[in-house]
Each structure stands twice: as C-alpha cells, then as structure tokens.
Amino acid sequence: MKTYHNLIMVCLISSLGLLSCKKDFLDKKPLGTASEADLTTAAGIKGLLIGAYSMLDGVGGPSPDGNPFSQGVSNWVFGGVASDDAHKGSTDDDQTDAATIENYTVNSTNLYVDGKWVALYTGIQRANDVLRTLAKVPAGAITEAQTKDLKAQAIFLRAVFHLEAAKLWRNIPYVDETISYESGNYNVHNTEPVWPKIEGDLTFAVANLNSTQPDKGMANSWAAKAFLAKAYMFQQKFSDARPLLEDIIANGVTASGLKYALVTNYQDNFNAATKNNSESVFAVQMSVKDGSSGSNNGNIGDILNFPYGGPNSCCGFYQPSFSLVNSFKTDPATGLPLLDTWNDGDLKNDQGLSSADPFTPSTATVDPRLDHSVGRRGIPYLDWGVMPGQSWVRSQVQAGPYLPKKNVVYKSQVGNYSDVAQGWGVNQATAINYVMIRFADVLLWAAEAEIEIGSLDKAQGYVNQVRNRAANPASLVYTYVDNDPSKGFSTTPAANYKVEPYPAGTFLTRGQDYARKAVRFERKLEFAMEGHRFFDLQRYDNGTGYMADVLNAYIQHETSIPGYDYEILKGAKFTKGKNELYPIPLDQIDLSAENGTATLKQNPGYN
C-alpha cells in the first residue's frame, strides 16, 4: 500500500500506534487499548521513548519490500558493499537492489534505498511523538528533572536519525514535532541545509541529558557530544569538533559511568559477552530470547551476513574484498601499514581451491585486526574451528574467498547470545550490539582534527593509541590447543602478526599529507566491515574527486584478479558529483507532490 512509503505519513501514526515497537521489555497493554491518559505519564512517555530507541536498529516499522536487509543500523550495504570494504556476496542474481548499489547503477526506484528512508523517518517520527505527547502531560505528573531528560533523549534520537539520513542523501527534509498529518504540513522541502538543525538538536541534548543513565543503552550527554562532533566532522568543521573531542577523551564516561577507554582486546567490541564496555560511546542494543517476535531484537538487519556453512546455513552475503584484506599487510621491518603499496599484490589466499585442496596461509606480516574482521582459510574462525575455505563460502567464484566475522557469535555462546531468526537460519539473531560510535572513533577523529588545524605530533599520539591496542598480545588471534576448538586457544599466534606504532616524530617529519593519509588508512583498518567506509570516503572528498579516485582504482583492482570473475563490478564506474550520495526514493518524491509539483527535489545526477 503506497501510503506506507510516504515520508511523513508512514510515521505520523497516533501515539497508540507507536506502542507497537519491538522492544518488549515493557509489559504493555494490547495494541490500540492505551489512552492519552495512559501515555501522559512517566511510564507512558518512557514506553514511547523505547519505541523510538527501538528504531535505531532499523527494524520494526514499515518496509517497502517486507525485508529488513536494507534497514539495518550497520549500513552493511550503503557503507560497506558500496565502498572498497566488501562485495555483496551470494550469487549475482540474488538481492539485485544491493548489486546496483555496489556497481553504482543505483536509481531512485531501488527498494533498499526506499527502505532505509522509511526506517529513518519512522525513527524520527517516533522521537517526535515522544515530544508531542510530553507536551500534553498534566502539570506535576512528571518531575521537572524527568521531563528534561526525556525531552533531551527524544531530541537526541531525532538528531541521530537525521544524521544517518544526511550521510546517505545529504539533501533531506528536517522534521520536528510541529510537523503532523493533522496539521497538513507534512510535505517538507529538502532544499534547506539540514546540518544546522542537526547541530541544534545535538547541542540541546548535550546541555540537557544526564551524564549517566539507569539503562546502558540510553544516551547520555557524552554520547550527544560525540554525535555533535561527528556532525562537525562531516562538514569538515574541525575547529568546532576539536574541543568536543578533547573533552570526551579527557572526561567522557559511558551511560553506566565507565571512563571511556580502548578495551584491551580489540575483539571485545564484537563479543556479546563483553558489550557496553568502556569503548562503547553509543551502541544499539541487541538481544535474543527476550520475548520479541522471531528474535527481532537480534540485529535482524544483518541476517544475510553469515557464512553459508559452518556456524550458519545462510546466507553468504557481505564478503570482504581482496583490496580490504590487502590493506592489513604490514612492512615486515617496521610493522607499519603499506600506505602506498598495499594493493600491489594480493595476500596469499585460497581463491579457486576447494576445501579438500591443501592450503597454507600466508606467512607475510599482517595486522591482527585482519583476523578479527575477516574469515580466511586456515585461520581460526572464533571458536567454530579453522576456516576450511570454499565449503563455508556461498560463491567463491563470484564474491571471493573471504567471510564477515564481526557479527558472528562464538560457538560457546550459542543458546545464550544467539537464536533462530524467524524464517531464517540458526544463530543469525544475535545479541552482539552494533556500536555506532566507539572510543576509537573519537581518537581518530581527534587525530584528523589535529592534522588539519593543530599538532601533527598530537595527531600521531592519538593514532598510536589505536595501533598500540592492536599490537597488544591480548588482541591477537591464536591457534587452538591441539588444533581442537573445544580445548580453547593456545599462546601461539595464528598468523605472522606485526603491527607497531609510528616512531616518534614521524608525522611531523613526513608532513601533513603523509599524516592525513596515515590516519585515513588507520580508520580503514580499525573499522573494517563496520559500515563506515563509504561515508568516511564521502567526507574526505569535499568535492575534490578523492572518493571517485579511490573507488575507481578499487574497481580496477577487483576486476583484474586472475581466476576471479566478479560480474557485478565489470564495467562499473563511480561518477564524481553523483555517486557520493544516494538518490532520493522516487516513491517519496511522488508522494510529496502538492498540486502536481513535488516538494522533494532529487539529488544531482539521478532521475
């Protein structure tokens, strides 16, 4: 039904309807039975707020095609597949809307694009519904302190959803609580800059949110400050971002009051048993076996992105690229990344080999973050066993030999942190949080800001904090005791790991261009397969053509590998001035029409 796709109408549901959120940890009355009196209480407002939080994972609202794949918070398609991080995976004719995003032929009728739009504006309107209902609360029914924090949380969420939309489309309508179907003002233009509105909401949240919260998943003032810094970074407003980042580094705490810090073991950021740790600035909370229908709180947006064999039976999507894996090669003498020559040759791999064929992994020096980010032949795949190669890969010929890893639970956690997702395979609903901002983000953003307007030495110090954590023995991947996963891990590294910090004075001696290249490369390594890469390239570009240069070189590399015939990228080209943004969905443009004229304007280069 087309009205479900409408930019505003899709979400301008009454407060009663908004109680149909999928976070089931509140015991609610049946749908449609709540009255305004029920809602205009502290418990009622909190229920509405949970409904807004629940949309952070992108699941629970309307979906144009009935599938959650496009709507997940990880942006695995929009941020990963569309970049040099990963290929779509599976077979060429599976999920063709994702394929057109990968090869930059995406158009305005793409259901993935429409689905993401609908999910984000559903979240925006749920946040606005909190504000509209809060304004109706009788005097004295909620304390002033409660009102202040609830309002700030709703405004924070509204800003986060708008920021996510701005990353994809940049030219978006800003929708606040004054916009409603009843008021008849729901056709909002997208021709005014949205960044000042996002900044205003986040500034309000910084000033009014509590510094700690009773629930780990709730936003605090430090999370708001980090998102405000992120908004500045997307605009290259380094002088505005820098003091915020310095304050977060020096004083920031999690919602539970933990001082922000890098965790000792890099893998703890992707482990359901160690989530909400000191590195988690703001995370979308995932859970299983909580009473939700079909384990819909278990990161269903990433349900396709599991090995085709071994830990799971479906579906073989989101396969890391050869170029990404090559990025983790290091200089055997210095342990530093190969900033200019990383893609000159491919790291030894098992492309074209069956699982029965003999294979010995590369002995070249690599950054250990490779084996936390990527499943590759001959290396332990968590505690599921040594990855055998082809038998775990959906289509090695079409999408390469590598597998995603950060979204997969340990075998020892099955039953506690994983569940059968409704209509899908075992262990594909997981309790692994998706961390929207990690403390490593803050450090590397601070490094970027210092490179542009501050001290190169200080920038190097921030980068080295991240590299030192990667080099910590606790962050290495180890072989199994007696090659038996059930016996645990040995003290023998699984590969020839070598990663070192930049020697003192390197950035200062080599200059700004070198430092800029180094910090950008560090983000590529640190956040591989986390859905950030496309948007990092986008903000580095700023009209220079940098993004087109990087991605067209990537296409050239991936389509010239012997024995690898990736049809989706054949003939692909990233077009400067167009593909940095996604098309505004045609459904939304059509439904915005007033007197035959569309309110929403299409992005450049798209019809």
Looking at the structure, do residues 585 and 482 belong to the same domain, yes or no?
no
Q: Are 564 and 87 in contact (CB under 8 A)?
A: no
Identify whether residues 413 and 484 lie together within a single domain: yes
Strands (E) in 86-150, as ranges, are 86-89
Q: Cβ atoms within 10 A of the Cβ of 367, count?
A: 25
Q: How many CB atoms lie within 10 A of CB 597?
A: 7
Q: Is residue 478 part of a domain?
A: yes
Q: What is the pLDDT of residue 34?
A: 63
Angle between helix 111-134 and helix 144-169 axes, rounded to 10 deg = 160
Give, in degrees to the nearest 5, the angle at Cα 581 between 161 and 58.
Answer: 30
Pairing of strands 317-320, 489-493: unpaired
| Residue 447, in any domain of the structure | yes
Could you tell me if residue 224 is inside a domain? no
List, in sequence order, every residue forming a beta bridge with 375; answer none if it has no partner: 403
Regarding whether 427 and 322 lie in a shared domain, the answer is yes
Burial class (CB in 10 A: 0-12, 13-18, 19+), 543: exposed
Distance separating the N- and C-terminal Cα atoms of the chain: 23
Same domain for 21 and 147?
A: yes
**Which residue in 14, 278, 220, 232 sits closest to 128, CA to CA?**
14
Q: Assess if residue 236 is contained within a domain.
A: no
Under 8 Å between Cβ of 387 and 494: no
For residues 451 and 532, membership in a common domain is answered with yes
Gyration radius (Cα) of the chain, Å: 23
Does residue 169 share a domain with residue 146? yes
Looking at residue 276, what is its pLDDT?
98
Query: What local confidence, expressed as pLDDT, does residue 310 receive?
Result: 84
Structure tokens at 96: 């063709």
Residues 558 and 585 in one domain: no
The torsion angles phi and psi of 430, rounded to 5 degrees, stand at -130, 160
Which token pair is 209? 């949110």
The residue range of the domain holding 563 is: 300-569
- Residue 417 makes CB contacts below 8 A (sequence gap 6+) with 272, 273, 288, 409, 410, 430, 431, 432
Cα(85)–Cα(532) distance, integer angstroms: 9
pLDDT at 547: 98
> How far is it, in rounded angstroms, from Cα 213 to Cα 182?
34
Quick one: 184 and 313 in the same domain?
Answer: no
Number of Cα atoms under 13 Å in the Cβ half of residue 185: 9
CATH of the domain at 20: 1.25.40.890
Q: Return the CATH number at 389.
A: 1.25.40.390
Of 527, 434, 580, residue with least CA distance to 74: 434
Q: At how many degrees (to 10) do helices 221-234 and 533-541 cross?
A: 50
Kindly list the distances between the CA atom of residue 75 and the CA atoms of 299, 371, 453, 553, in Å, as whole numbers in the listed order. Answer: 12, 21, 30, 22
Residue 563 lies in a domain: yes
CA 282 from centroid of its chain's CA atoms? 12
The predicted structure's pLDDT at residue 442? 98
The list of the chain residues with pLDDT below 70 reads 1-34
Residues 562 and 585 occupy one common structural domain:
no
Question: How many domains does the chain fold into?
Answer: 2
pLDDT at 372: 98
CA 398 to chain centre: 25
The Cα 463–Cα 455 span in angstroms is 13
- Distance (Å, whole) CA 263 – CA 438: 10
Same-domain check for residues 431 and 463: yes
Taking only the tens place, the pLDDT of each residue in 473-524 is 999 999 999 999 999 999 999 999 999 999 999 999 999 999 999 999 999 9
Distance of CA 108 to the CA centre of its chain: 22
- For 252-280, the pLDDT digits (tens) are 999 999 999 999 999 999 999 999 999 99
Would you state the pLDDT for residue 277?
98
- Distance from chain centroid for Cα 499: 25
Q: For residue 586, what are the β-bridge partners?
A: none
- Is 295 contained in some domain? no
Q: Which two tokens stand for residue 216?
A: 């780990």
Do 527 and 585 sit in the same domain of this protein? no
The answer to whether 141 and 42 are in contact (CB under 8 A) is: yes
The reply to whether 371 falls in a domain is yes
Residues 134 and 79 in one domain: yes
Q: How far apart are CA 98 and CA 302, in angstroms?
A: 13
In a domain, 182, yes or no: yes
